[in-house]
Chain A
Amino acid sequence: MRFFGRGHGACPGCGLTIAVRNVLEALEGKCFVANPTGCLEIISSQYGKNAWGVPYIHSLFDNVAAVASGISEALKAMGREDEGKVVVFAGDGATADIGLTLHGMFDRNHDVIYICLDNEAYQNTGHQQSALTPLGEATTTTPVGKIMLGKMGRKKDMIAIALAHGSPYVATSSAVLPADIRRKVKKAAGIVGAKYIQIHCPCVTGWGIDGKEVVKVGNLAIETALYPIVEFENGKLLTVRKLKDRKPVEEYLKLQRRFRHLFTNPEGKKIIAEIQRIADANALKYNIDLKK
């Protein structure tokens, strides 16, 4: 708790705080944190209740990649690079929707570790859909109604976008895999350039799960291949978390209020089948299934 924690206001079981603590500990607190508006900012940076034990800046919702790039360049200009790494903690909305400056950071390859804390919607403001909300999820802006059953689009593939920019290190992880987070952050810290790590972070309130179910639900996202855990260096796939007995997506979906309608609405079956197709495609793409 040296680098993050004292006084933060996250919900019990919040995936974000697990991820953040592990990132900061992997870097031994030698880092500068840039954080856009969102859940993490609200729970950690109220004036007088700052929970950060590392230098921290919150500027706006839509500019964190540029702010981090500016810190990184300033440290270079002033010969202070040894002080620490520049790390972004951004939500999925601030990354995949309104994060206008992310492509510039990738393009110029600023020395930044960009961590996307993916809880799959705007949870801070009460669960509105983002570009990383998956198919079928009921949010307050993609509600379940007579003609619509939650989000009808796909989850944006930020991994492909990061790779297309030529990012030297791109990985996914999950708040339920602390050792994996630490290893990947340490690896990223040794690589120069704009790194991207997307960490799946269960959200108890938005997803409609109990705090004690966080690890189970987080693991099921991996075990169904809905959230492949992968790692690329210089565009080359390095590691994939393989599965012996991949589970059907229903096991993951049925535990969460955000997908409950898929099991009660007669049209829900079709959407579950589509979600299963997405999981199957992920498994095929990354060769996730171990041969029996």
Chain B
Amino acid sequence: MKKVVRGFYSVAYAVKLCRPNVVCAYPITPQTEIVENLAEMYANGELENCRYITAESEFAAASILVGASAAGARTFTATCSQGLILMSEVLFNAAGMRLPIVVANPNRALSAPLSIWNDLQDSMVLRDAGIIQVYVESNQEAHDMIPQAYKIAEDKRVMLPFMVCLDGFKLTHAHEPVDLLEQSLVDEFLPPYRPEVYLTTKKPVAFGCYAPPNIYMEFRVAMQRAMERAQGVIEKVFREWAEFSRRDWGGHLEIVYPESRNFVIAMGSLVGLLRKVVGELRKEGLSIGLVKLRTFRPFPFEDLRRVLGNAEKIIVIDRSVSLGYEGNLSIELKSALYGLSPEIISMILCLGGRDISKENLEKILRNAVLGKEGSGFKGYIEFEEVVP
């Protein structure tokens, strides 16, 4: 059923359809309306076999879900920015305990200076946590991703937390027509969560044992292998979803104009604008294609080598930066393409909600392809820095 809804609702409604047992969160802009929607459904008795808990912090919210997930519950939280990094101690722990908690993260910048606006810095902090990260372009894709997230995270070959990243404000606050899923379809696609191991007095087990040097490393190797297996599981679930919903979002990557000599690669809602920009530039005769990176962890390095290995130039658009080095996606991509020879131009844009116009984006991409624009921050106003 197609309805015009905001991004918040497209996520919240999909979560409801997945029949979570425990939903727990703490408000933070621009996430809050996701859990407000869920709270309203809970207050109206629309969430069956579910407890909705208003935690005293994101740290507590994630911790409550660790207990709930270990007890065998399907769990959900939403957070971003400061909330996500406040959760980070718990989320690393949840990944290590192999708890398939699903987190919606409407990406927001990190403080200082305080900014409630959008970039991708927050989820980059969790890059190494053992959490699957998928970035979506639209609210329909966000809506569709939630059932897929549970199916992938809870797969016995995976058993890792899953973070659905959607751009704060740009998606969360946007009204878009979204084809809302039917309960029967989600029920058919997503089986109930039945973990092999969970806390029960019927068969006592211990979660979170500490590991001396003789065994710690093996646990981490097992996590890495689960991430490697997740690559295949994600592809399989994405394909299955395309058949189920008749909406095909692609695999780890979506490639537009694959025969191009040059490519631009980006994640999230900016891809929507890039589709138009790349179309315009092609009309001018430039050979430029677009790669939308959906899965950031596990990083689909083999797909990227296959698709981009023979490109002449790759323009990487980052909306986060590893201060002291360069844009995060750029770092990852260079590592993935090691030994291959495309020229990589790394651009950092749109930090803390800074907008970029279509015309400007066209200009810098055109210039980059023509060799007149190099790597670095784009779209900021030059200023004189006072260094005492």
Which A residues contact B (CB, under 8 angstroms)? 29-32, 34, 41-42, 45-48, 50, 52-60, 62-63, 66-80, 83-84, 100-101, 103-104, 107-108
Contacts and interface: CB of A to CB of B under 8 A. Distances in A.
Give the dominant DSSP class at A's interface. mixed
Interface string B236-247: 000000000000
A76 B51 contact: yes
A278 to B, nearest CB: 32
B56 A50 contact: no
Counting chain B CB atoms within 10 Å of each CB, which of A55, A60, A108 scores highest?
A55
B59 interface: yes
B68 A71 contact: yes
B339 interface: no
B49 A108 contact: no
Given A57-B208, A66-B64, A78-B49, A83 B201 contact: yes
Contact of B70 (A29, A60, A63, A71): A71
B207 A63 contact: no
B56 A107 contact: yes
A69 B201 contact: no
Contacts of A52: 204, 206
B212 interface: yes
Interface string B85-129: 000011001000100000000000000000000000000000000
Interface in B138-180: none
Contacts of B210: 41-42, 45-47, 58
Contacts of B69: 70, 74
A137 B73 CA distance: 44
Contact of A30 (B71, B93, B201, B211): B201
B286 interface: no
Contact of A77 (B51, B59, B208): B51
B53 interface: yes
A70 B209 contact: no
Interface of B: 21-22, 24, 49-51, 53-57, 59-61, 63-73, 89-90, 93, 97, 199-202, 204-212, 215
B206 A79 contact: no
B51 A74 contact: yes
A74 B60 contact: no
Given A70-B68, A74-B22, 8 more contacts: A56-B205, A57-B199, A59-B66, A63-B59, A70-B67, A74-B71, A83-B200, A104-B55
Contact of A56 (B21, B56, B207, B212): B207
B66 A70 contact: yes
A75 B64 CA distance: 12
B49 A59 contact: no
A100 B60 contact: yes
A32 B89 contact: no
Given A45-B210, A57-B199, A74-B21, A67 B49 contact: no
